[in-house]
């Protein structure tokens, strides 16, 4: 698994849609592409997180699999979507 790296981030509401997420993710991808060992970045996201999904798709991540009812918050269940990006 040393050829893979998991990334994650969260954004406070007041910082959403400011370009900060794109800038942070762009830097992480550039770093991964310069790393001679890494081949694959992956992340997990709530499947109903439209802002996050839009960002990840824009940056080239693709849907890879779903775990149904993986997250539970305030007695409500959410699916966990795994997304991947090849950096080689």
Question: Which superfamily, per CATH, for 4-86?
Answer: Gcn5-related N-acetyltransferase (GNAT) (3.40.630.30)
Question: What pLDDT is stored for residue 52 in this prediction?
Answer: 93
Look at the block and give the residue holding tokens 């802002």. Answer: 51
Average pLDDT over residues 56-82: 95
pTM, rounded to two decimals: 0.89
Average pLDDT over residues 14-39: 95
Band of residue 1 on the pLDDT scale cut at 50, 70, 90: confident
Average pLDDT over residues 24-31: 96
Q: Taking CA 82 as the corner, what is the angle to CA 28 and CA 48, rounded to the nearest 5 degrees?
A: 100
Band of residue 78 on the pLDDT scale cut at 50, 70, 90: very high
């Amino acid at each position: 698994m040393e050829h893979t790296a998991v990334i994650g981030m969260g954004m406070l509401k007041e910082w959403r849609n400011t370009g900060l997420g794109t800038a942070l993710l762009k830097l992480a991808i550039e770093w991964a592409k310069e790393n001679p060992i890494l081949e694959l970045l992956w992340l997990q996201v709530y499947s109903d997180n439209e802002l996050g999904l839009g960002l990840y798709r824009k940056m080239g991540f693709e849907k890879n699999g779903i775990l149904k009812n993986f997250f539970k918050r305030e007695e409500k269940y959410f699916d966990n979507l795994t997304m991947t990006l090849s950096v080689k």
